[in-house]
Chains A and B, each alone.
Chain A
Amino acid sequence: MSNKGYLIINLHAHLPFINHIDKNYIEENWFFEAVVESYVPFIRMIENLQKDNIKPSITLSLSPTLGAMLENENLEKKLKIYINSRLELIEKEFSRENDERIHKILKVYQNLYEQAAEMVVRYSGDLITPLKRFQASGDIEIITTSATHSILPLLIHKEAIDAQITMAVEDYKDRFNKAPLGFWLPECAYDSRIPDFLKINDLKYFFLEDNSVDLNSENEILSHYKVSNGLNVFLRDSNSSMQVWSSQFGYPGNGEYREFYRDIGYDREIEYLKEFTGSDLRIPTGLKYYRVTSLNTELSSKEYYDYEKALIRAESDARDFLGRIISRFDSYNNLKSKPLIVNCYDAELFGHWWFEGHIFLENIIRIIRKDRIPVQIITPSEYIAISQSPQFISPQLSSWGEGGYFDPWLNESNDFIQEKIYEATEKMINLANRFKNQDLSLLYKRALNQSAREVLLLHSSDWPFLIYLGSHREYAIKRFYSHLENFEKLIKGVIDKNIDEQLLINLEKQNNIFPRINFKIFSSKSNI
């Protein structure tokens, strides 16, 4: 049966760059939790589909910061310790709890952490390796995003936008031995300056929120577009994305699914937990025994989770999702081309927050094949190859964040960072222009290169977002000011001709992202 239309599924994987040499921070757990609950299950899902000769055709946008963390030896060592601590906690819970229902859940977690441990060993701690293989075999398409996940429209200097995109592309080439075809705009944040910078870097396509253009009909929504410089644009369909994304209206809110918030980290005695979490604070352990039950049920009244029932639910939700896609395809009546639905989600939604998310996703892919559902999952570059004469659009300023613009990253709680970002970037550009044609000693080059790393890290969208949320506000502020201080010290050394080499060595070790960076990426160029 020929397909009625196409479905693009893009998972955006990103975490802020975290690499603490000196001590452990609970913020490192973001990475460990995401590896165990989201990235390893994603890799296993693709492996399982490969074994059954099913091509997933999923698109994965992998941020350079996360890419660097997935290859980082320091984090690899800490990840192994984290996984072992959780396996020990699971053992202890087995002996502490007598309830058979909890034992059944603990077996699910034991399996999850053992699989993570096995995969970390199998790939020598480098989870980029399987992703690279999946891309080489044509099973997934990996794209990039700005170097440190900066909100590009909030960068005033064109040199900064160029540096963020150029560095991301160079980093991708180093990691995947080829040029990226597509680009994920962090938070889908767009302004009209951006496409030209993408084009200079030979990128072929990017994604936008569907509120970036004024679309009136379903036919217009389910189409593929170009912007004036010829770059392809895929509009994220907020309607079907919502079905998966929302805890309130979407699938993850179903009562059978695992409850995210009720974690034994908040139920057990601190002294008991401390041995495993290494923290005096109440933090999530990843072990959660309860199900959503209903959205109105108090956390304390949630019922025990039943994994088997959740699996059945994930399959029926996958069928429902596909049914809705088909009915939208049926309502499409443009005879020139088949409809296209573009779904984009944070990769960490699947597994970490929506525990059964990968099961749902794998079900979608398998059901299409098994039941001959007339939907074809396709990557953007595959779609571009078969698409005929897309229309041109002029998108406006937009994002997929709260309110549809930039309010989460620019408001009274976090606006103090903007002046500092502007000033540091201005100084970096000034120094890059001043020194770019000079025959510098290696020490000066290293100091300027590290300065460029620190400025890129200042640009990260994570700091204003975490400050805005309030959770981890202190950590975000501390990180922001540490990069600013590092930058100021380094450039003072350059200007005073008195570089603190020990400081430089320490920073090169800690903030070691973009090993081949050249400070000249911040210089002004005639073509931008």
Chain B
Amino acid sequence: MNSELFSKERVMTSLDKTFCVILPKNFSKIYLFWKFSNFKIEKFEKKEYSHNLIIKILDRDNNTIMETSEIWNSGKIYLNLPKDNLSCYVKIYANTINGKLEEIATSNIIDIPFEKENKVNYGNYKVMIKL
């Protein structure tokens, strides 16, 4: 086994990542969650980044379709989309101490379906069976 490649420090460093993920909940709502690397957390804690994040939802052509803000350490937020039937992703920005907007995380891209006629709730049966 290559001991350099598998040194504890090296493995731990590779696991300390920033991530920002969106999941589709339905045709009008997405769930965003994020976690910052220790390096970025330190910047927030030292107030090198402002505490409020700017969250932008962009379409596949990078047009901003929505913008909101959220405190940096809440870690999650549900976002209502202004329209259905699109591909989108999220960028998270923080204001630096110099007043510049810095992009600090980018999410995966997901497809949002179009709104369909509401289906009959089959969940009832499942509720019953597991009781």
A-side residues, CB < 8 A to B, are: 30, 153-154, 156, 191-192, 209, 211, 214, 238, 242, 245-248, 260-261, 284, 346, 348-349, 352-353, 396-398, 400-408, 410-412, 415, 418-419, 422-423, 426-427, 430-431, 434-435, 438-440, 465-466, 469, 471-472, 495-497
Beta-carbon contact of B116 and A211 below 8 Å: yes
Interface string of B11-23 (1 = CB under 8 A from A): 1101101010101
Q: Which of B14, B26, B35, B126 contacts A405 (CB 8 A)?
A: B26
Beta-carbon contact of A405 and B113 below 8 Å: yes
Asked if B118 is an interface residue, CB under 8 A from chain A, the answer is: yes
Beta-carbon contact of B2 and A438 below 8 Å: yes
Q: Considering the chains assembled together, what is the distance between the CA atoms of A438 and B2 in angstroms?
A: 8
Query: Nearest Cβ in chain B — how far from A27, in angstroms?
Result: 10
Beta-carbon contact of B129 and A352 below 8 Å: yes
The 5 tightest CB contacts between A and B, nearest first, are A405-B26, A402-B123, A396-B113, A404-B119, A397-B113
Q: Considering the chains assembled together, what is the distance between the CA atoms of A496 and B8 in angstroms?
A: 6
Complex interface: chain B residues within 8 A of A396 (CB): 111, 113-114
Query: Nearest Cβ in chain A — how far from B8, in angstroms?
Result: 6
Q: Considering the chains assembled together, what is the distance between the CA atoms of A439 and B78 in angstroms?
A: 45
Beta-carbon contact of A400 and B1 below 8 Å: no
* Chain B minimum-CB-distance residue to A213: B116
Q: Considering the chains assembled together, what is the distance between the CA atoms of A209 and B119 in angstroms?
A: 10
Beta-carbon contact of B129 and A349 below 8 Å: yes
Q: Tell me how many residue pairs across A and B have CB atoms closer than 8 Å.
A: 134
Q: Considering the chains assembled together, what is the distance between the CA atoms of A422 and B108 in angstroms?
A: 12
Known contacts A246-B125, A423-B35, A439-B1: does B130 contact A156 (CB below 8 Å)? no
Beta-carbon contact of B122 and A426 below 8 Å: no
Complex interface: chain B residues within 8 A of A408 (CB): 123
Known contacts A396-B113, A438-B1: does B124 contact A247 (CB below 8 Å)? yes
Q: Considering the chains assembled together, what is the distance between the CA atoms of A396 and B19 in angstroms?
A: 26
Q: Considering the chains assembled together, what is the distance between the CA atoms of A346 and B128 in angstroms?
A: 13
Complex interface: chain A residues within 8 A of B112 (CB): 397
Known contacts A156-B108, A430-B15, A438-B2: does B33 contact A418 (CB below 8 Å)? yes
Beta-carbon contact of B23 and A156 below 8 Å: yes
Beta-carbon contact of B31 and A211 below 8 Å: no
Known contacts A401-B122, A430-B14, A434-B6: does B129 contact A406 (CB below 8 Å)? no
Contacts of B26-68 to chain A: CB distance below 8 A = 26-27, 31, 33, 35
Known contacts A397-B24, A415-B76, A495-B11: does B125 contact A353 (CB below 8 Å)? yes
Complex interface: chain B residues within 8 A of A192 (CB): 111
Provide the main secondary structure of the chain B interface.
mixed
Known contacts A156-B108, A404-B119, A495-B8: does B25 contact A411 (CB below 8 Å)? yes
Beta-carbon contact of B122 and A407 below 8 Å: no
Q: Considering the chains assembled together, what is the distance between the CA atoms of A401 and B123 in angstroms?
A: 6
Q: Bin the interface of chain B by size.
A: 35 or more
Beta-carbon contact of B118 and A404 below 8 Å: yes
Beta-carbon contact of A410 and B25 below 8 Å: yes
Q: Considering the chains assembled together, what is the distance between the CA atoms of A284 and B35 in angstroms?
A: 43
A238-B119, A407-B25 known; 15 other A-B pairs, CB under 8 Å?
Answer: A156-B21, A191-B111, A211-B116, A211-B117, A246-B120, A396-B113, A408-B123, A411-B25, A418-B31, A423-B19, A426-B17, A430-B14, A434-B6, A440-B1, A466-B130
Q: Considering the chains assembled together, what is the distance between the CA atoms of A92 and B97 in angstroms?
A: 78
Beta-carbon contact of B76 and A419 below 8 Å: yes
Complex interface: chain B residues within 8 A of A469 (CB): 126-127, 130
Beta-carbon contact of B125 and A419 below 8 Å: no
Complex interface: chain B residues within 8 A of A401 (CB): 122-123
User: Interface centre among B21, B114, B123, B125, by most A CB within 10 Å?
Assistant: B125
Query: Nearest Cβ in chain A — how far from B16, in angstroms?
Result: 11
User: Interface centre among A261, A401, A403, by most B CB within 10 Å?
Assistant: A403
> What are some 13 contacts across the A-B interface (CB < 8 A)?
A246-B122, A246-B124, A247-B125, A346-B129, A397-B113, A403-B121, A404-B26, A404-B118, A406-B26, A412-B78, A418-B23, A423-B19, A438-B2
Beta-carbon contact of B126 and A465 below 8 Å: yes
Complex interface: chain A residues within 8 A of B120 (CB): 238, 242, 246
* Chain B minimum-CB-distance residue to A416: B76
Beta-carbon contact of A434 and B128 below 8 Å: no
Complex interface: chain A residues within 8 A of B113 (CB): 396-398, 405
Complex interface: chain B residues within 8 A of A418 (CB): 21, 23, 31, 33
Q: Considering the chains assembled together, what is the distance between the CA atoms of A412 and B15 in angstroms?
A: 27
Q: Considering the chains assembled together, what is the distance between the CA atoms of A346 and B15 in angstroms?
A: 40
Q: Considering the chains assembled together, what is the distance between the CA atoms of A397 and B28 in angstroms?
A: 12
